[in-house]
Amino acid sequence: MKEQLEQVYRTAIDELGHITNSDALREWELKFIGRKGEITLMLRQTGQLPAEERADFGKRANDIKNELTQAFEERESLIRQQELAQSLEEGDIDVTLPGRPRRTGGLHPSTQTLRQIQEIWAEMGFQVYRSRDVEDDDTNFTLLNIPPHHPARDMWDTFYTTQDGVILRTHTSPGQIRAMQDYGEDGTKPIRVILPGMCYRYEQISARSEIQFYQVEGLAIGKSIRMTDLKGTIADFARRLYGPETQVRYRASYFPFTEPSMEVDVQCMLCDGEGCSVCKHTGWLEIMGCGMVHPTVLRNGGYDPTEWSGFAFGMGPERITMLKHDIQDIRYFWANDMRFLSQF
Ligand code: DAH
């Protein structure tokens, strides 16, 4: 077997010396040093030799394999250079062709709006509080003054889980309770937070509603916070978002967790209030709900409502983005269509 090994070695070296193209080189590699190559197979047979011959044979076979591998690599780089020089000469490569453009990535429009909103609130002293996506029924509803079986629950179509009382949050408002419990130190500390996050609703997906979307909630708690603070703060936010001339109006509304409750409209930025199809010819666009935190909610967060008060608001960044760019269909936000995304 030893003689056979040397024989294969000589043949291999001889054949390698005659190879001039990479196809033949690949074949040579398979034949001699590949996984089923002759040298490899012989190495594997070392165990069948008489014990006293094994060490010598194994060492020699290994040396040969290493030597052949090195010779192979040298030959390979030589052939590669030759082939490149040849193809350059024959004009296979057109160096005048334009390069392939590298596309740069961009931020998703929702991310852009979210960051813009966060920046504005940060300037006004509001800290980001991240609350959980998976909530319990109590925090999502009951502690927000929406008891079981209350008809107001119909405002939020809910994803329930197989675990009793565990749901996906239908809005970011439960984060109000969590922030009060977390930061309030048993109702002794003022709070100013915004709570951005994903919300989930069991809805028929359509141009106007998705089952998954962002909200940015806001909460301010203090000793003498009044409705005028709410109105001034929201107006300031709207002007920072849409420009200093932006007109804002408040309409009375209803939410179980605020009293009184309002909805906020800004003058339509597409027609400057003249009336267009986006604002349905009213000149106004609704951008959020808000109100003074309901005493029951304050109490559930650990605060004494005779001493403390606060305001809260909630807005939908997708809706804000849609209004800003006149996007007609909310499903674009999750469709991952580059023709849509690359416009932002
Ligand atoms: N949670 C409400 C919703 O999903 C939005 C909202 C309205 C939040 C008024 C608030 C608020 O904090 O004060 O429809």
Tell me the three-class secondary structure of the chain, residue by residue.
CHHHHHHHHHHHHHHHHHCCCHHHHHHHHHHHCCCCCHHHHHHHHHHHCCHHHHHHHHHHHHHHHHHHHHHHHHHHHHHHHHHHHHHHHCCCCCCCCCCCCCCCCCCCHHHHHHHHHHHHHHHCCCEECCCCCEEEHHHHCHHHCCCCCCHHHHHCCCCECCCCCEEECCCCCHHHHHHHHHHCCCCCCCEEEEEEEEEECCCCCCCCCCCEEEEEEEEEEECCCCHHHHHHHHHHHHHHHHCCCCCEEEEEEEECCEEEEEEEEEECCCCCCCCCCCCCCCCEEEEEEEEEECHHHHHHCCCCCCCCEEEEEEECHHHHHHHHHCCCCCCHHHHCCHHHHCCC
What pairs with residue 290 in β-bridges?
262, 313
Residues 325 and 285 in one domain: yes
pTM over 0.85: no
The CATH number linked to 268 is: 3.30.930.10
Mean pLDDT of the region 244-269: 95
Atom 14 of ligand 1, nearest CA residue: 171
Q: Is residue 102 part of a domain?
A: no
Q: Is residue 141 part of a domain?
A: yes
Q: What is the model's pLDDT at position 1?
A: 82
Q: What is the model's pLDDT at position 85?
A: 87
Q: What is the model's pLDDT at position 104?
A: 85
Check: CB of residue 113 under 8 Å from CB of residue 147: no
| Ligand 1 pocket check for 309: Cβ under 6 Å | no
Q: Is residue 297 part of a domain?
A: yes
Q: Is residue 287 part of a domain?
A: yes
Q: Which residue of 171, 195, 311 sits with most ligand 1 atoms within 8 Å of its CB, as the best mutation to test the pocket?
A: 171
Cα distance between residue 248 and residue 284, in whole Å: 9
Residue at which a domain ends, from 56, 90, 124: 90
Residues 272 and 129 in one domain: yes
Q: Is residue 100 part of a domain?
A: no
Number of domains comprising the chain: 2
Residue at which a domain ends, from 59, 90, 121: 90
Residues 282 and 137 in one domain: yes
Residues whose CB falls within 8 Å of the CB of residue 227, separated by 6 or more in sequence, listed in order: 260, 292, 311
Map tokens 């674009």 to a residue.
Answer: 332
Residues 288 and 327 in one domain: yes
Residue from 119, 340, 343, 336 nearest 216 by CA:
119
Q: Is residue 97 part of a domain?
A: no
Residues whose CB falls within 8 Å of the CB of residue 25, separated by 6 or more in sequence, listed in order: 19, 72, 75, 76, 79
Residues 151 and 289 in one domain: yes
291 Cα nearest atom in ligand 1: 13
Q: Is residue 96 part of a domain?
A: no
Residues 38 and 128 in one domain: no
Residues 138 and 13 in one domain: no
Per-residue pLDDT tens over the stretch 219-248: 999 999 999 999 999 999 999 999 999 999
Q: What is the model's pLDDT at position 80?
A: 92
Entry field: residues in the chain? 344
Residues 69 and 122 in one domain: no
Residue at which a domain ends, from 41, 59, 90: 90
| Ligand 1 pocket check for 255: Cβ under 6 Å | yes
Per-residue pLDDT tens over the stretch 43-92: 888 888 888 988 899 899 999 999 999 999 999 999 999 888 888 888 77
Atom 6 of ligand 1, nearest CA residue: 314
Mean pLDDT of the region 262-270: 93
Residues 236 and 310 in one domain: yes
Residues 237 and 147 in one domain: yes
Residues 171 and 258 in one domain: yes
Q: What is the model's pLDDT at position 43?
A: 87
Residues 131 and 200 in one domain: yes
| Ligand 1 pocket check for 38: Cβ under 6 Å | no
| Ligand 1 pocket check for 293: Cβ under 6 Å | no
Q: Is residue 160 part of a domain?
A: yes
How many Cα atoms within 13 Å fall on the side-chain side of residue 190?
Answer: 11
Cα distance between residue 150 and residue 87, in whole Å: 79
Whether the bond into 295 is cis, omega within 30 of 0 = no
Q: What is the model's pLDDT at position 208?
A: 86
Average pLDDT, the chain: 93
Domain that includes residue 136, residue range: 109-341
Cα distance between residue 97 and residue 84, in whole Å: 18
Residue from 117, 107, 122 nearest 324 by CA:
117
Q: What is the model's pLDDT at position 232?
A: 97
Question: pLDDT band for position 190 (50/70/90)?
Answer: very high
